[in-house]
Each structure stands twice: as C-alpha cells, then as structure tokens.
Amino acid sequence: MQHYLISLLIFTPLVAACICLFLPKKFEKAFRAVALIVNVQQILWLLPMLVGFRASGMFQFVERSNWITLNLGSWGVLKAEYLVGVDGMSLPLVALSVFVLLIATISSWSIQKNVKGYFVLLLILNAAVIGSFVALDFLLFYLFFEFMLLPMFFLIAIWGGPRREYASIKFLLYTLLGSILILVVMIGLYTSVSDPVASQGGLLVHSFNLLHMMEPMNFISNTILDPNNPWQIGWFNARYWAFLLLFIGFAIKLPMVPLHTWLPDAHVEAPTPVSVILAAILLKIGGYGLLRIAYPIFPEAAMHFGMFVGIMGVLSIIYGALNAMASKDLKRLIAYSSVSHMGFVLLGAASVTEEGIAGAVYQMVSHGIISAMLFLIAGVLYDRTHDRIIDHYSGLSSKMQNFTALVLVGFFASMGLPGFSGFIAEVMVFLGSFRSNATNGVLHESLAVIATSGLILSAAYYLWTLQRMFFGPFHLKANIESDAIVDLTSREYVMLVPLAIAALCFGIFPQPMLDMIDPFAKYLTALVIDHGKAITLNP
Amino acid sequence: MNALFVICGLGIISLIAEIANFRKWLISIIVLGLLGAAALVVADWNTAVAYYHDMLVFDNFSLAFTGLIIGSSLLWFWTASDFFEALFHKTDKSALILFAIAGGVLMTSFNNMAMLFLGIEILSISLYVLAGSRKEDLGSNEAAFKYFLMGSFATGFLLFGITLVYGATGTFQINTIANYVLTHAGELPSFFYAGALLMLIGLAFKISAVPFHFWAPDVYEGSPTAVTGFMSTVVKIAAIASFFKIFATCFSTIAPVWYTILLVIMVLTLVIANITAVYQNSVKRMLAYSSVGHVGYILLAFLADHKESDGTIFFYLAAYAVSSLAAFGALILVGGKEENTLVERFNGLFKRNPIVAVGLTIALLSLAGIPPLPGFFGKYLVFAMAINNGMIPYVIVAIVTSLIGVYYYFRVIIAMYFKDAVAEPLKVSTSKEVLIVVLILITLALGIFPDFLIQLL
Amino acid sequence: MTLNLFYFLSFLAVLSALMVVFSKNPVYSVLYLIITFFTIAGHYILLDAQFLAVVHVIVYAGAIMVLFLYVIMLLNLNRESEPHKSNILKFAAVICAGLLLVVLVGSLKGTEAIVQQSGKAGIGYVKTLGEVMFKEFLLPFEITSILLLAAMVGAVMLGKSEKTNDTI
C-alpha cells in the first residue's frame, strides 16, 4: 500500500468518475456521495504520506513504470515513464489540493443543474490536479496539465454565470496558448536530453524525465538546447528562449500581469466551487511549474532573467491590488487580490534564495487556503441574494454576526496580518528578495521595498470593503429582499471554519510545514546557483 | 493478399445478394468478411511476400495500412448503417464501397505502377458514383461531377508521369526504378524529373493538398455524409500510403528535386486550409477543410524525414481516422434525413443527446490535438520529428495553424453546450450509442498508449 | 521514308488536336478528334504495335467517338449553348498549360534518342501481347475486371430510375 499511495490518489477519482458515468442520471444523491467518499478516502491516503515523509531534498513515495517506449529508428528511442513522486514542494500542494477539493465538493451540494455531469467533471479535474503536482515526467505532467483544462472549461461553460461563454472561451484560449508554449519547450527538451542509464548500450534514448533534464550532463551535444553549445536564435540563445516560453506559459496560469485578464472574468462567471478550485489549486500549478521545471532545467536563464521575473512579480502585486481596489464586484475584488498575492510567488522565486523560494511555496499553500475561504464567502452572499456588487450592501454585520466574524478572519488573513499564514509567507518572500542582492545579485533591494506597498494596498481595499459592506447602518439596495439575509447554515460552517482554522494554524505554527519545504528550497537554490554558474562559465 | 481476394469476393457477393435475395443478411456477411480479412492481415504479419511477378508486395508497411483501411471500413459500416437502409441500391452501394476498399488495399500494396493506377481508378470510379448517390439532390450531383472531372484530370497527370518515368527507366516496378535511379544518378534524362513532378501533382490531387484541393470542399459537402466519412478516412489513408510509397522508394534519391515544391505545398496546405475552415458555416465543409489541413501535418512529417516517417504517419492517420469517423458518425445522426449540417443545427446538442455531444466533443478535441487524445500524440510526433531535423520555422507555422484549428473546432463545441436547443431531443438507436462509446474508448486507448500502434512500423 | 511519314502524321495529329479545341461547333470538334485518333493509330503502326493500333481505332474512333457524337446530337449542343468562360480563367489556363509545355519541351529536347532494338520481331503481335498479359501482367489484367465491374455497377446505379418502384 505504502508504495502505491500516489497512484491511489490519482486514480481513485478517475475510477469513481467512470462509475458515475454508468449510474443513472436521477440518483443525484449518489453522485454527491461518491464524490465525498473519494475525497475522504484521499485524505485517508494522504495521512500516511504526511506522516511518513522525511524532510530532505529527495523525492519520496516514488513510483516508476514504463509507459511509452517507441523505437523510432535512426532518431533514437522515445521514452516516457509513469514516474511520480513528492518532495517538499509538491507534498504540501497535494495536501492543499485534497483538502480544498473536499471543501469544494461540500460546496457543490447546491448545484442543481445536470448533477451527474458536474461531479464527473469534478472528479476528472481532481485526478488531473493531483497528477500534475506529482508527475516527474514532462510528458506525464503535460498530459495532466492539459487535462485540467477541459473539465475546467466545461465547468465554467455549463454551470457558469450569464457571460459564461465569453469567460470560458477566454480561459481556454489563454491557457491553451500557455500550454502550447510549454509544448514547444517540451519538444525541444525531448530532442536534446538523453536518458543516461538507458543510453549506455549505444542506443540513444530520449527521455522526458524531469530529473534527467535538470542535469546538464544529460544534454546531447550539438542539440538545440545543449548547454555547452545552444543554438543562437535572434537576440538570445535557444535556452534563454526556452526559459522565456516556459515562463510565459506558466505565468499565464499564475496569472501574471499583463497576462491575467482571463482570471477575473473566469472567476466572476464560475460557480462558487469552481472558483474555489481555480483560485486555490489551479493557479498554484503556474508557480509549481516555474519552480519544478523552468528554474531547475534552465538555471542560467533563470539567473539572467531574474530581475525581469522579479519586476513582473512586483508589477502583479501592485497592479492587482490597485485593480482590486477599483472593483465593484466582490468576486472580482477577490480575483484581483489573487493576482496580487500570486505576484509574491513570482518575487520569491525570482530571488533564488532559500527564504524566497520557501516563502513562495508557503505563499502558494497559504493563498490556496485563504482564497478558497474568500471565494466561499462571496458564494455565501451570492447564494442568498444573487448579487455581489459591494455598494449594494451595508451593515451586514448586524444581521449576520457569525458570518462577519469569519469574513474578518478571511480578510485579515489575506491582508497578511501577523498570526495568519499569509504573514509568514510574505515576510519570507520579502526577506528573500531583500537578501538576494547580497547573496547572488539577482534582484535589487528596491523591489522588496516596492513590494511592501502591496501589503498596504491590500489592507486598504479589504478594510474599505469591510467598512462599506459590513459596518455602518444596515441597508440593502432596493431589489434585494432583506429576508434573504440570514446567517450561516451548518453546511457553510463546515466549509468555512476548517479553512479559518487552517489559516490560523499555519500562521501560528509554521514550523512543521517549513521543515517540509526547507530542504527543497535549499536543494533548489543550490542547484540553480551552481548549475547556473557552471553553464554560464562554460564557453 | 488473401485479404484483397476476400474483399473483392465480398463485393461480388453483395451484387449476388440482389439476385439471390439475401439482402437482409448482407451487412452481417460483409462485416464478418471484413473481420476475416483483418484476421488474414494479422496472420500475414512479418512475412513480406511478393505476389504475381512482384505486382503486389505485402510487407509490414502494406499490411499495417491495409489493416488500418479494413479497420476503419468496419467502423465505417457501423457508423453508416443508415446509408444502407435506403429503399434503393442497397447492394449496389455496398458493392461499390467494397470495390473502393479493394482499390485502397491495392494502393497500399502495389509494387508496380500499373497496380497503383488500377487501384486509384477502382477507388475513384466507385467514389464518383457514391458521391452522386443522392440523385435527387443537386449538391450530390455537383459533387459527383466535380469529383469525376477533377479526378480524371488528376489521373491524367499521374498517367503521364508514369509514362515519362517508364520512358526513362524502362520499368514499372518501383523497387527496380529506385535501383535504376540510384545506379544511374547524374545520367537520368531530364524528362524523368518531369515525370516525377507530374506524378507529384497527380498524387497531390488525390491527397487533396493545397493548391490541388479545390475539389475537396465541394465534393465533401455535396456527397452523402456517410460517403464523405468514407472519403475522409479510408480514401485518405490509401492516398497517403501510395504517396508515401512512391516518394519514399522511387524518388527518394532525387529528393532535392521535389523537396522545395513539397515544402511550399505543405505550408500552403497548413495555412490556407486552416484559415478557410474558420469561415465555414457548415460543419461538414469545415471538416472537409480540416481534413485538407491534416494532410499538411502529415506532409510535414514526411518532409522532416521521408524514409523514417512511416510510423509517425501511420499513427497520425490512425488517430485521424478514428476521430473523423466519430465526427462523421455524429454528423450523420445530427444531420438527419435532410443532411443539414450547419453549425446552428448543433445548438444545444448536449441537451438533446448528451452521448452524441460528448462523442463529437472528444472527436473534435482529438482532431484539434488536445492531450491525452491521440491527435495530440500524432501532432507531437510530427513536431518532434520536424524540430529534430531543424525545421523550426515550419513547426512554428504548424503550431499557429493548429491553434487556429482549436478555434474552429471549438465553435462547434460551443454551439453544442452553450446555445439553446433548436429541436426536441435527438433519438438515437442503441447500436449507435454503443458505437459512440466504442469510438470514445478506442480514441482514449490510442491516446494513452500510443506506442502500441507506432511500434508496428 | 518512315521519318517523313512520322512527321506527316505528327503534323496532322497536332493540327487536328488544335482544331478540336478551336472549332466552335462541337460536332466538328468530335470529328477532328476522330482524325487525331487515327493519326495516333498510325503512330502505333510505325512503332510496330499493330494490335494496339487496331484496338485503338476500334475502341476510340469507333465506339467512344460514336457515343460522343450521339450524346452531342441528343443534347443538341451548338455554338450558342457553349458556356462563356471568363478571360481571367482563359488567361490562367494558357499560362499553366504554357508552363507545362515549356517544361515538357525543355526536358525532352535535351534527351538523346534511345535507340533500342526490340529483341523480338513482331513485338506488337497479339501473341506477344498475350504472353505478357497473361504471364507477367496477369494480376493487373484480372484486377481490371473489378474496375470494369465497379464502373458497370456505378453506371446502372446512376442510370436506373428510383421512381418506378413507388408507383407499383
């Protein structure tokens, strides 16, 4: 059992989706039950992994078997493996996904339209999400990565709001563009990298293994991405281009300003549970991809473009926050705050310091928890009144005391108030980006200084929203019935309270998770800096 | 070889069925016969035998493509069963289809230009008639006539080319020609090259590569949907197999002569077909342009490495065939009796019949090249091959055109899921529902375990 | 002598082929086409292919052309009913055909005549032809029957009326 935990995590939802397909449409309760059972079961499988995980930079619970082996004659062998494993970055993210997916399933109880289709898609999405966090083979990763796209597209397109068509197509085209850029790099890497073990017999075995790609020795000489002799294309050499393509591909997903415009639209139109998954999990895959693929495989390019990545991160922080402040729709505000917070991930990654990278990973997990909570909060309100315009409400605290309390927790956590998980993450990112100039000279200190203004802006827009919506005299816009405003139901407590507790826990006791992340951050920093220097110094 | 006999025999049996009055059992007999032919192909695997003075050679290449043709035909008979429900000419239609399949098998297994010519003619003549089989429909008549004129024209070019090649080398056997070209390099008369180019033009007509594609959209649109499905799968497979065979064996050593021309054709095919497809209102016509566009990707693989690309092309064709069969199967169901395939007709299909909608969605996604469906692996292998051979600018063109492809395939998907239904629920027989599920399963299996098929060649 | 005959026949062939295209009346075109076929049959004889020449005359000039004439008369085609083609199309056609001509003439011009002694006398006799056809080219010969069968079935299918059965 211990050896197949990851496969169980991935394939249980898929099997459940197949079972659901064959159940008759009218058993609406059955679909909910199946989805819930799958989620609970996933948590049960996750626990031994969390317990059994040893803090080190190595991959654990690795499973490996042959998947595709193609002998392509004179141009070698194509080898793709089913290779999955977790390390200090992926395990927290997998845990986050399982946790958030459980909450999303509970939140999906209110879905009425075509329940069967909805839960089938949700289960497929579940498998794809976990798969992309654990895949260590580029082709496998890409497969899961793309496979996330379609369930998401349909979830927005069928169960979304009034402008769902526009939003889903925009989402699809943006992410598809991103994945095609990644595909180009994947093909390039595939032609350039050989499997050192399997190629010993004189046969050239092209490998998709990400670990092989991280090792400059494995590049075949005179291929397009060979570090010793990369092809020059235009201004940069091919490796720099490849890094940029990967960066843009993942940055669309992250999302980074100016490639973020799909996100607010998708969020506004998506139903609450889908928004939760989108914000809490899918955005993380952008950051995860950067740290898992772009940085270790193209370390010298990562160092070279570090300043650029950092500037884009700061730009996202500031621009996202300003947009959030100007938003009239509560969900749009939260969506822009996501853009702003994911900017910290970019900044942390760009610093290539231990603190920065650990902070980036911590921020991904923390933002996952907090944004899930925030979108659920928006959902609670929307369920009652079908209106999310901030100006239409005032003084809600008088009618919904408990709700307001949880909103306060959520908003303060997102602001980065000490005691909440966001604070730890953001402080670490600031430390990393500040120290970067002294240790490796990638980022300038001023970036960290400018980024702190993001904190002030986020405090501003959250407090302003609180003041407008929840405090002051109770008042609603004319067409909203005040009878609809009632406090939380028990199902909503079940969803919101665990998230609030998690945000507090990770803010007060960060050590367990930092112990998990730290070896990874150390390993990645050392790898990027060492390999980066080695490759740059080579003639 | 025996498979070919079985198929010809089945054609004659279906003619007898009209006289001997066992029309009811005909389709079952044909399906059983084709299964038998498929079994014979499997039995012949790895034997590589030449038959009748080297007229036909069934090596693994031919057997693989023959198997693909037979497999697609089997699935086609299932999708197109309504085509044989008509009041008239049931047996004639099935006989013509079977003869066309026999022609296709000849086109994959020929070793002599005479056999190539015969194969192409048998295939084409059957199809000219089938294209016009909706006699009362003006579009169908136009399709048949256009196909006939253009097809004869193309055959003329091909025949002239064969003649010139024969004049230069003194033989029709393709391996002898290849040897002759190899040993007489530099002293070949210049009309040999002219002959090769004329053959290129003739075959480009048959595989419908731009600018020799003008017949394709009209013919595809006008023909009965079932026949269009046949054209875009079986016929395309056979045409590409013969193209590959001629150019990878006979004219492989004179690659510099045709390389640039084919490169231009490839780029034109990719760009023009995919851009024109965006502007189509009829799904059938859109699929016609998309099938022209797919030829561009196959040509890209061929140009990257014309000797080693057979496995890639084979897989691409198999993926393409399964997906298009599913798409045309859905088109037959949605189009109904009047064969109306405008995009509006697909509005709200998901509500009218979810199974058909999901089947069509998966087919279109596979054609668009979205992982983990087989279309993605086909494109992936093509792009990897091209990048490996330093054709980066062309790969970029191909990637851009496949993005355009995603756009027009998604137009149909959007119509199916977002628009309000225009008609009452679509009733579909259980057999068709099973078929759709089978096609989906084949598609997924091909996508997740592609090595099984590519390894054949 | 043979050479002069060849030139004469070629001249006649090209001239009548041109007349096929240029004459306005379709019936004249067909008649010129018959002349073209006869001259080509003459070429076959010069090449020692007597059987082919005879078959050519019987099949093309005899059967097919008579069918052509018959159809033209039935349809009552004449000068007026000839569809008018746009000048651009004509221009494009002339350019394409001209280019093809240049290529063919260019490639054939530089070629030295391959003087091949036919091994056997009477290469064009029916017997020689039959030997080739039923030995080496047996399979294509048999496969041709499938081609003819397909064409026949197709002709019947397109030609047969579908309405008659309804009334019965």
Q: According to the model, what pLDDT value does residue C168 have?
A: 39
Q: Kind and range of the H or E element at A378?
A: helix A354-385
Is C168 a domain residue? no
The residues spanned by each domain of chain B are 1-253, 256-457
Asked if residues A244 and A135 have their Cβ atoms less than 8 Å apart, the reply is no
Q: Which residue is closest to C155 within chain B, CA to CA?
A: B129
Is A364 a domain residue? yes
Q: How far is B209 from chain A (nearest CA, A)?
A: 26
- Could you tell me if C97 and C140 lie in one domain? no
Q: According to the model, what pLDDT value does residue C79 have?
A: 61
What is the percentage of chain A residues whose pLDDT exceeds 90? 44
Q: According to the model, what pLDDT value does residue C117 have?
A: 54
Q: Quick: pLDDT tens for B301-323.
A: 999 988 888 889 999 999 999 99
Is A75 close to B308, i.e. CB distance below 8 A?
Answer: yes
- Which DSSP category does A110 fall into? G
Is A493 a domain residue? yes
In this prediction, residues A193-211 reach a mean pLDDT of 81
Is A387 a domain residue? yes
- Could you tell me if C129 and C108 lie in one domain? no
CB-nearest partner of A190 from B308, B384, B407? B384
Q: Quick: pLDDT tens for A233-274.
A: 778 888 899 999 999 999 998 888 888 899 999 998 899 999
In this prediction, residues C66-74 reach a mean pLDDT of 84
Is A332 a domain residue? yes
Q: According to the model, what pLDDT value does residue A70 have?
A: 78
Mean confidence (pLDDT) of chain A: 88
Q: Quick: pLDDT tens for C98-157.
A: 998 998 888 888 776 665 555 556 677 788 888 888 888 999 999 999 999 999 999 988
Q: Which residues does chain B have with pLDDT short of 70? A: none
pTM: 0.89
Which class for A217: exposed (0-12), middle (13-18), buried (19 or more C-beta within 10 A)? exposed
Q: How far apart are CA C168 and CA C165, in angstroms?
A: 5
- Could you tell me if C100 and C129 lie in one domain? no
Q: How far apart are CA A187 and CA B383, in angstroms?
A: 7
Backbone angles phi, psi at A243, to 5 degrees: -60, -45
Angle at A282 between CA A278 and CA A285, to 5 degrees: 165
Q: Quick: pLDDT tens for A454-482.
A: 888 999 999 999 988 888 888 887 777 77
Is C133 a domain residue? yes
- Could you tell me if C102 and C150 lie in one domain? no
Q: How far is C80 from chain B (nearest CA, A)?
A: 23
Which is nearest to A420 in space by CA: A375, A388, A458, A390?
A: A458
Listing DSSP states for A321-354 in one string gives HHHHHH--BHHHHHHHHHHHHHHHHHHHHHHTSH
In this prediction, residues A207-222 reach a mean pLDDT of 86
Is pLDDT of C166 > 50?
no
Is B414 close to A165, i.e. CB distance below 8 A?
Answer: yes
In this prediction, residues A17-42 reach a mean pLDDT of 88
Report ipTM for this prediction: 0.90
Chain C contact partners (≥3 CB pairs within 8 A)? B
Residues 6+ apart with CB under 8 A from C38: C57, C61
Chains A and C touch (3+ CB pairs under 8 A): no
Expressed in percent and rounded to 5, the helix, strand and coil fractions of chain C are: 75, 0, 25
pLDDT band of residue A446 (cuts 50, 70, 90) is confident
A201: contact with B, CB 8 A cutoff: no
Q: Which residue is closest to B372 within chain A, CA to CA?
A: A143
Residues 6+ apart with CB under 8 A from A511: none
Residues 6+ apart with CB under 8 A from C28: C19
- Could you tell me if C43 and C116 lie in one domain? yes
Which is nearest to B317 in space by CA: B71, B139, B136?
A: B71
Q: How far apart are CA A153 and CA B55, in angstroms?
A: 53
Q: According to the model, what pLDDT value does residue A2 have?
A: 64
Give the distance from CA B367 to its chain's centroid.
14
What is the percentage of chain A residues whose pLDDT exceeds 70? 98
- Could you tell me if C83 and C155 lie in one domain? no
Q: How far apart are CA B140 and CA B100, in angstroms?
A: 18
Is C167 a domain residue? no
Q: How far is C90 from chain B (nearest CA, A)?
A: 17
Q: According to the model, what pLDDT value does residue A412 have?
A: 92
Which is nearest to B119 in space by CA: B66, B72, B160, B167?
A: B66
Asked if residues A304 and A531 have their Cβ atoms less than 8 Å apart, the reply is no
Is C75 a domain residue? yes
DSSP strand pairing (B49-51 vs A205-207): unpaired
The dihedral sign for the CA sequence C4, C7, C11, C12: positive
Give the distance from CA B187 to its chain's centroid.
37
- Work out how many domains chain C is built from and give that number: 2
Chain A contact set for B451 (CB, 8 A): 68-70
CA distances from A428 to A360, A361, A502 (A): 8, 10, 19
Is A47 a domain residue? no
pLDDT band of residue A509 (cuts 50, 70, 90) is very high
Q: Which domain holds residue C143?
A: 125-162
Is pLDDT of A188 > 90?
no
Is C148 a domain residue? yes
Is B99 close to C104, i.e. CB distance below 8 A?
Answer: no
Q: According to the model, what pLDDT value does residue C118 have?
A: 52
- Work out how many domains chain A is built from and give that number: 1
Q: Which domain holds residue A383?
A: 305-539
Q: According to the model, what pLDDT value does residue B299 have?
A: 95
CB-nearest partner of A169 from B387, B414, B451? B414
Q: How far apart are CA A242 and CA A244, in angstroms?
A: 5
Is C112 a domain residue? yes
Which is nearest to B246 in space by CA: B351, B123, B343, B161?
A: B161
Chain B contact set for A176 (CB, 8 A): 403, 406
Is A58 a domain residue? no
